Amino acid sequence: MEKKYKNFKIVIKENYDSTSIVVADIIAGLVNAKSGGVLGLATGGTPVGAYKQLIAMQAAGKVDFSHVTCFNLDEYHPIAASNSQSYKYFMKDNLFNHININPANTHIPDGMAEDVQAECAAYEQKIAAAGGIDLQLLGIGSNGHIGFNEPASAFSRETNYIALEASTIEANARYFNSPDEVPKHALTMGIGTIFAARRIVMMITGAAKANIAEAAILGYISPQVPASILQLHPDVTFVLDADAAKNIIPRIT
């Protein structure tokens, strides 16, 4: 199902794999349409299927990343790039090592930065110097976070250094040996940085995300649900599987 709803687009597919294909096609479409395109990328479980698709598409000669620049949303702090739980490691393992992107064109906030404020400012400058983000891929946390912008009393503007919520530490502990090992802080693009992307694609899958998907896409716009701000973006597509969309389908059809 594909539906124009208010000023955004909602695409609902049967399952995780078909959702991943839609997202990969959107990303490949941008890369093929614009030489030197700038992608904003996400980590987490959600985009792995889309990254697998992109790897297969490149192997089949359907997409070429040689002129692409990309910026990831976020990174834990402190964490070494060599740590297998760092987002830098994740991106190499799940995408960069398997496509023809120039490693010099892949950017992730430095999880070992000593001066975190300087690192945040430098990251903003790098995005601006690249001409801004053409297409930003997003997942959503069960608490509505995007990047690591946790529910708050105000929307953050630029890349910033944040304390992770207990629920996020708990959700991400599955990747670490124990919750104690999950870093308590992170560097993340701000809501303003994300919102400045010319186009946004948010991928949401699984029944566990059904309530937050409904709140983010159809609920009140509030910094308590950071993703809800996307309802105001001029070019946003929400791509969901049927499980994640189960509360939304009856409300939009």
How many Å apart are CA 71 and CA 73, to the nearest integer?
7
Rounded to the nearest whole angstrom, what is the least distance from the CB of residue 44 to ligand F6R in the complex? 3
Give the integer Cα–Cα distance in Å for 51 and 63. Answer: 12
Residues 110-135 as b/e (b if ≥16 CB within 10 A, e otherwise) read bbebeebeebbeebbeebeebeebbb
Establish if 228 lies at the interface with ligand F6R (CB under 6 A). no
Q: Toward ligand F6R, which CB reaches closer, 43 or 237?
A: 43
Q: Is residue 42 part of the contact set for ligand F6R (CB under 6 A)?
A: yes
Catalytic residues: 74, 143, 145, 150
Q: Print the binding letters for residues 103-142 with ligand F6R: x by CB under 6 A, - otherwise.
A: ------------------------------------xxx-
Residues 72-91 that bind ligand F6R (CB under 6 A): 73-74
Beta carbon nearer to ligand F6R, 62 or 223 = 223
For ligand F6R, which is the closer residue by CB, 42 or 95?
A: 42
Among 46, 58, 69, 193, binds ligand F6R (CB under 6 A): 46
Which of the ranges 16-24, 42-50, 58-66, 213-221 carries the binding residues for ligand F6R, by CB under 6 A? 42-50
C-alpha to C-alpha distance for 53 and 66, rounded to whole angstroms = 17
User: Which of 146, 137, 134 is closest to 48 using CA atoms?
Assistant: 137
23 binds ligand F6R (CB under 6 A): no
Is 43 a binder of ligand F6R (CB under 6 A)?
yes
Of the candidate spans 2-10, 25-33, 37-45, 98-106, the one that interacts with ligand F6R by CB under 6 A turns out to be 37-45
Q: What residue number has its CB nearest to ligand F6R?
A: 139
Minimal CA–CA distance to 95: which of 146, 42, 159? Answer: 42
- Out of 13, 88, 145, 233, the only residue in the binding site for ligand F6R (CB under 6 A) is 145
Choose between 37 and 141: whose C-beta lies nearer to ligand F6R.
141
43 burial via Cβ count (<10 Å: 0-12, 13-18, 19+): buried
Q: Which is nearer to ligand F6R, 44 or 111 (CB)?
A: 44
Instruction: Collapse the DSSP code of 112 into the 3-class scheme (helix H, G, I; strand E, B; otherwise coil) and give the result.
Output: coil
Q: How big is the site for ligand F6R, counted in residues (CB under 6 A)? A: 13
Q: Answer yes or no: are the C-beta atoms of 13 and 240 closer than 8 Å.
A: yes
Instruction: Kindly state the smallest distance separating residue 253's Cβ from ligand F6R, in Å.
Output: 26
DSSP 189-252: --HHHHHTSSEEEEEE-SGGGHHHHHHHHHS--BTTBGGGGGGG-SSEEEEEETTTTTTTHHHH
Shortest approach of ligand F6R to residue 30 CB, angstroms?
A: 19
